[in-house]
Amino acid sequence: MSGKIFVVGFGPGADEHLTPAAREAMEQCDTCIGYKTYIDLVRPLLAGKKIISTGMTEEIDRGRKAYQLAKEGKNVAVISSGDSGVYGMAGLVYEVLEEAGWDPHNPDVEVNIIPGITAACSVGAILGAPMNHDFCSISLSTLLTPWESIEKRLEAAASADFVTALYNPKSAKRDWQIVKTQEIFLKHRDPKTPVGVVKSGWREGEIVVRTTLDQMADQEIGMLTTIIIGNSQTYYFKDVMVTPRGYRKKYDLVNKGGDLERLKEKEVA
Amino acid sequence: MSGKIFVVGFGPGADEHLTPAAREAMEQCDTCIGYKTYIDLVRPLLAGKKIISTGMTEEIDRGRKAYQLAKEGKNVAVISSGDSGVYGMAGLVYEVLEEAGWDPHNPDVEVNIIPGITAACSVGAILGAPMNHDFCSISLSTLLTPWESIEKRLEAAASADFVTALYNPKSAKRDWQIVKTQEIFLKHRDPKTPVGVVKSGWREGEIVVRTTLDQMADQEIGMLTTIIIGNSQTYYFKDVMVTPRGYRKKYDLVNKGGDLERLKEKEVA
C-alpha cells in the first residue's frame, strides 16, 4: 500500500478556526513535517505522532522527505499556518514531486491539498472588515523574489487603490523593505490611511496595532506580523477598520427597503 | 439581555472546510439571515432555526434586520459563503450599525466577525497550487464599483504579473466584463497562461475547467464561478496548476540538503 501526502493549511492556529479536513489530516497521519514554529502551534494535536520539525530554509527537504516517507507507505502531513497554497508548501511539494518523477496521472502516492484561512482573512476579522473590496497579497521576502518584482507589484497595488495585505514584512536581517513600501504607498495614498499591524493573530501573544500609513514602518514588526493597508475609502469607525463596498454612496442605509416587518422569519424543520 | 450578531463566512460549503467557530455560530443562533443560495448550502446545519432568506440585492435589509433582532435579545448569524470579510457581509454590517448609532466602545449588541476560507484559496486547492505567489482578488461586478476602477485594477494586476482571482466574473445580465478582462490580460501575458475556471468548488455540481487565457472568456461562467489566472511563471504539471515560488530557479530540488536521513523523526508524547 502506498502512502498519502496531505499539504495542510491550519489557519491562524486557533482550534476554532481549524477546519475538520485539516484536523483530520493531522490526526490521521503517521508523520507530520513542518517548520518548527508551525509544529509548535499545533503540537497538542500531534500527540503520539512522529514529527519532523525543520528550520526556516529547509522547505525543499520537507517536500523531499514527505515523498520518501509516502513511498514507504506512510501518511504524511506537511503543514503550514494559514492556507497551504498562499506562500505555503503546496506549490513546492508539487515541484519537488515533479522533479522526482511523480506522475499525477499515475501516482505512486496520493497528494491532497487542504486549504485553510489565510492570514489576510483571519487578521481582517480581528481588525473589522478591511479586506472588503479588491485586494492584493504581497510578500516582502526577497529570499526567492527579486526586489524589483516586489517593488513593481507594490507600485501597482498602491496606484490602483487595492487594499494590500503584506506577508513576511520584516525579519531580523531584512528591515528596509517595509520602509520602502511605506514610501511607495505614501506617493499614492493619504498618510492617514488606516493600517492594521497584527502579530500572531488569534494566537497566544496576539498584538493588534491600529495605526496609519505614515506610522506603519515605526511599529514593531517581525516574521509573525501581517500588515493590512486600507484603500482610499478605508476608515476607522472608532477602532474598527472598515473598507466600504460602496453601498452607502448609493443607498440610504437606515431606510433602504423600508419597513423590515416584511422580512418574515421562517421556522425550518 | 442583549443579543449578538455573528457575521459568518462558511467557506466553500463543504462540511470538511467549515470551521468550528462558523459551525457553532450557525448552530447557536436563534435566527440565521442570508442570501437564498447561501442559506440552501448550509440548510442541514440550521435545523429548527428561524431563517430569513432574502434576494441578492437585499444585503442592507439583512444588516438592518440583524441589528433589530439582536437588540430584541436574539443571537443572529448573518452568513455568506467564503470569508465574511471578502466581498462578504462584514463591512456592510458595520456600516449599517454605524448609521444606526451603534457604538463599538459601548455596544448594545456584540458583533463577532467569523472568518472563513475564501474562494481563491478553496478553488486554488482544487486546481493545485496556483495562488502560491503574490496575488490580487478582483470582483468584476459593476453594481457598486464603476468599471473604470475595476479596469484600472485589472491593468495593474496584469502588468505587475500578479496571479489574479476573479470573483463575480459574469451574470445573466452582465457578460462583457470577462471579455474585456481577457483583452487586458492578453496585452501583458502569454495567451497560453493557465487559467482555472471553477463553478461551485467543493460543492454539489462542482465543475472544474483547466484552460488558458486565450480561451478563458469562452468557458461557461456564472455567478457561482471563480476564475484564477496564473502569473507569467504559472504552468500546468499535467493537469495540476502550479505557480512556483522560485525555489527551482535557485536550488536543485532533487539533491538540495543531501542525505535526508539526517532529518530524524521524533516521537512526540
- Does the pLDDT at position B241 exceed 80? yes
Picking from A5-14, B150-159, B251-260, which range would have the lowest pLDDT averaged per residue? B251-260
Average the pLDDT over A185-195 and give the result: 98
Render the burial of B13-42: b for 16+ CB within 10 Å, e for the rest. Answer: bbeebbbbbbbebbeebbbbbbbeebbebb
pTM of the entire predicted model: 0.97
pLDDT-derived band at A269, boundaries 50, 70, 90: low
Judged against a pLDDT cut of 90, whether residue A179 lies above it is answered with: yes
C-alpha grid cell for residue A116? 485553510
- Give the three-class secondary structure for A180: helix
Residue A61 buriedness (CB in 10 A; 0-12 / 13-18 / 19+):
buried
* Residue A196 to chain B, least CA–CA distance (Å): 15
**Higher per-residue pLDDT: A257 or B143:** B143
Q: What is the dihedral of CA A259, A265, B1, B4, to 10 degrees?
A: -90
Amino acid B161 reads: D
For residue A80, the surrounding DSSP H or E stretch is strand A75-80
Which helix (H) or strand (E) covers residue B228, if one does?
Answer: strand B225-229
Cross-chain Cβ contact A268/B43 below 8 Å? yes
Q: What pLDDT sits at residue A267?
A: 79
CB contact under 8 A, B16 and A18: no
In this predicted structure, the answer to whether residue A256 has a pLDDT above a threshold of 90 is no
* Alpha-carbon gap, residue B54 to B61, rounded angstroms: 9
Q: Which grid cell sits at A34?
A: 513542518
The x, y and z cell numbers of residue A247, run together, are: 453601498
CA of B218 to nearest chain A CA: how many angstroms apart? 24
Q: What is the mean pLDDT of residues B6-28?
A: 97
Which among A95, A104, A145 has the least Cβ separation from residue B248?
A: A95
Q: Is the pLDDT score of B168 beyond 70?
A: yes
Averaged pLDDT, A127-150: 97
Contacts of A64 in chain B (CB under 8 A): 253-254, 256-257, 260
Task: Say which amino acid occupies B94.
Answer: Y
What confidence tier does B2 reach under pLDDT thresholds 50, 70, 90? confident
User: Residue A1: pLDDT above 70?
Assistant: no
* Nine cell digits for residue B245: 515560488
* Residue pLDDT, tens place only, A56-100: 778 999 999 999 999 999 999 999 999 999 999 999 999 999 999
Nearest-CB residue to B115 (from A9, A124, A250): A124
**B148-166 b/e (C-beta count within 10 Å ≥ 16 → b):** ebbebbbbbbbbbbbbbbb
B247 and A135: CB-CB below 8 Å?
Answer: no
At residue B1, the pLDDT reads 65
Mutation target vs B (from A253, A262, A264; most B CBs, 10 A cutoff): A253
Closest residue to A16, CB basis, from B21, B162, B242: B21
Answer whether residue B41 shows pLDDT above 70: yes
For an interface test with A, which of B134, B203, B241, B255 has the most A Cβ atoms less than 10 Å from its Cβ?
A: B134
ipTM of the complex: 0.96
Q: Report the pLDDT value the prediction gives residue B258, as an integer from 0 to 100.
A: 80
Put simply, the answer to whether A269 touches B94 (Cβ < 8 Å) is no
